[in-house]
A and B are shown apart, each in its own frame.
Chain A
Amino acid sequence: MKPLDLRRHQNIIAFKGDLNDVTAFHAYNLEVADVSAEAFAMMTPVPVTTGAIPQKKAAVSMDDNEALKALEDWDQEIATDVKNGALKFGIRALTININQICNLKCAYCAAGGDGSYGEPTNQISVEKTLPQLKFFLSQLKPNQKFSITFVGGEPLLHPQAISAVYHYVVAESQKMQIIPSFSIVTNGTLLKDKTLEIIQSMKLHITISIDGDKKYNDISRPSKDGRSSTDMTVTGIKNIMASRGSVASIGLSAVCSLQNPHMFESYQFLKQFNADWMEFNFAYSEPSKDLQKIYIEEMNLIAADAWKNHGEAGLRQIKQFDHYFKLLDSQQRIENHCGAGKTYLMMDAKNRLYTCPWVVGEKDEVVGVNEQLDHAKLSKYSKSLIELNNCQSCWARHLCGGGCMFIHRAHTGDKHKKDDLFCERTRSLILTTIMYYKLSRTNQ
């Protein structure tokens, strides 16, 4: 089952599912609806590759007029209970490079190809990091949330540093009445022995990167010395799943790349572990339209299989679909794909600050160091990404939020010039989600 025959009338898009029913979506009000065949006939066919508003169709009969009027009335409606997604400056989330070295060498690594960002660094200085974190905590008000994500390199090469930061932030947050949460992104190969014990002593949301079974994962995610890594990662997943109660959540993250385009096969492999969630991302720098076509088809296969076997819960085990479900249910418009430079910063292993994990090591992108922030540089990020990236006409804008600046720049050379492939696959995933969202909420 997949969305077919996309059409648009101003803020409204509609498409057919395999059952020949028509599903519609109001881009500004985030409403999903059934629309009549007559109304669908009054909408203009559009490809998923564009966010531009097409010419309106002209009514030739009384029935046309009535259908068009219904579309126009809906288009003009302002839903008062939809929440605005504007973000004001205030750092509420930090990603920390615990180190900039890795024991793997992944084919699509965005961190300099080897986890070092071109500047191999062992463990971050805990002595420098703790006052820096205290500074960020001190900017928050009581009952505000503060999120920290540990990455690298491979962060589990230095579990003691993670533990020191974690316990410090927990203690300081308690004093300041801040609500902290902690995540880690790891390749899972070191989730054993003493390291596993340290991880079990913290309440972490854990993301383990694995692309599929051995025949694919060993090609895309080999060890630094070229050897197989999959058995170590699988053992790590099993170890952490066995101590599920000691962690906050466990997710598995796969990347669709030329080395492994078979995301449906990856899904079949990953679901055996029964993690809380899975995600299937497209390699950030991949320019292949053919690979993207396969990716979109495979994501539709994954959605169909998850829906058929486990309904909404199965579908929402896939992070991308869950993300859009949450926005539709909570009626939360978003104006920014991420909080880069507004609510979110990245700290490298030398305590320099950036707006995004993917610009670490680029001198021009440094927006602060230690407890000092460069507010002149940060002010360039103050407008919404929908505005900065010129997405005002796109029907997916309030579920996408203007897209990833880093991916845009990797393909177009400019953070604010959109990558067409990114836009197409985002719209495709959103269409698939809307189709199942209507089924889920109709069946309730």
Chain B
Amino acid sequence: MIAYKGLHMKKTHIKKIKPNKSPTTKILGLGCRPADEI
């Protein structure tokens, strides 16, 4: 393998984490209600 002097290898700077999009149980309880619950 030939190494090229000066060749700049591109680095991965951002690696996103995958969310778990399967539905989760909603928990209720507060007297006032967060906006995602209503």
Which A residues are within 8 Å of any B CB, using their own CB? Answer: 24, 31-36, 38-39, 62, 66-67, 70-71, 74, 85, 87, 92-93, 95, 147, 149, 151, 181, 183, 185, 205-207, 248-249, 251, 253, 276-277, 279, 319, 322-323, 325-332, 334-340, 343-344, 346, 356-358, 401, 404, 437-438, 441-442, 444
Residues of B within 8 A of A39 (CB): 13-14
For the complex, give the distance between the alpha carbons of A83 and B20 in Å.
15
CB of A329 within 8 A of CB of B36, answer no
Residues of B within 8 A of A95 (CB): 31-33
The contact sample of 5 A-B pairs, CB cut-off 8 A, is A32-B16, A36-B14, A319-B29, A343-B35, A401-B34
CB of B38 within 8 A of CB of A319, answer no
Residues of B within 8 A of A331 (CB): 19, 21
Residues of B within 8 A of A442 (CB): 17
Q: What class of interface size applies to chain B in its complex with A? A: 20 to 34
A317 nearest in chain B by CB position: B27
CB of B29 within 8 A of CB of A71, answer no
**With A24-B14, A326-B24, A441-B19 in contact, is A344–B36 under 8 Å at CB?**
no
CB of B35 within 8 A of CB of A149, answer no
Chain A CB within 10 A, most for which of B13, B15, B30: B13
For the complex, give the distance between the alpha carbons of A202 and B20 in Å.
33
Of the candidates A33, A93, A277, the one whose C-beta lies within 8 Å of that of B17 is: A33
**With A343-B38, A441-B19 in contact, is A33–B14 under 8 Å at CB?**
yes
Of the candidates A181, A327, A444, the one whose C-beta lies within 8 Å of that of B28 is: A181
CB of A357 within 8 A of CB of B32, answer yes
Q: Smallest Cβ distance from B33 to chain A, in angstroms? A: 5
Interface residue SS majority, chain A: mixed
B22 nearest in chain A by CB position: A329
CB of B19 within 8 A of CB of A338, answer no
Of the candidates B17, B29, B32, B37, the one whose C-beta lies within 8 Å of that of A34 is: B17
**With A33-B15, A330-B21 in contact, is A356–B38 under 8 Å at CB?**
no
Residues of A within 8 A of B27 (CB): 205, 249, 251, 276-277, 319, 322
For the complex, give the distance between the alpha carbons of A412 and B13 in Å.
41
Of the candidates B10, B16, B24, the one whose C-beta lies within 8 Å of that of A329 is: B24
B8 at the interface (CB under 8 A from A): yes
Q: Smallest Cβ distance from B15 to chain A, in angstroms? A: 4
CB of B38 within 8 A of CB of A147, answer yes
Which B residues are within 8 Å of any A CB, using their own CB? Answer: 8, 10-21, 23-24, 26-38
Residues of B within 8 A of A149 (CB): 28, 30-31, 33
Residues of A within 8 A of B10 (CB): 66
Chain A CB within 10 A, most for which of B11, B16, B21: B16
For the complex, give the distance between the alpha carbons of A123 and B3 in Å.
84
CB of A249 within 8 A of CB of B29, answer yes
Residues of A within 8 A of B35 (CB): 85, 87, 334-339, 343, 401
Residues of B within 8 A of A71 (CB): 13-14
**With A183-B29, A344-B38 in contact, is A329–B11 under 8 Å at CB?**
no
Pairs of residues from A and B, 9 with the lowest C-beta to C-beta distance, nearest first: A70-B13, A207-B29, A336-B35, A39-B13, A34-B15, A205-B28, A93-B38, A36-B13, A339-B38
Q: Smallest Cβ distance from A422 to chain B, in angstroms? A: 14
Q: Smallest Cβ distance from A279 to chain B, in angstroms? A: 8
For the complex, give the distance between the alpha carbons of A242 and B15 in Å.
46
CB of B29 within 8 A of CB of A35, answer no
Q: Smallest Cβ distance from A128 to chain B, in angstroms? A: 21
Residues of A within 8 A of B20 (CB): 329, 441, 444
For the complex, give the distance between the alpha carbons of A310 and B31 in Å.
28
CB of A340 within 8 A of CB of B32, answer yes
For the complex, give the distance between the alpha carbons of A343 and B34 in Å.
11
CB of B33 within 8 A of CB of A147, answer yes
For the complex, give the distance between the alpha carbons of A329 and B21 in Å.
5
CB of A183 within 8 A of CB of B13, answer no
Of the candidates B12, B14, B15, B29, the one whose C-beta lies within 8 Å of that of A277 is: B29
CB of B8 within 8 A of CB of A332, answer no
CB of A251 within 8 A of CB of B17, answer no
For the complex, give the distance between the alpha carbons of A437 and B17 in Å.
9
Residues of B within 8 A of A336 (CB): 35
Chain A CB within 10 A, most for which of B12, B29, B34: B29
Q: Smallest Cβ distance from A238 to chain B, in angstroms? A: 19
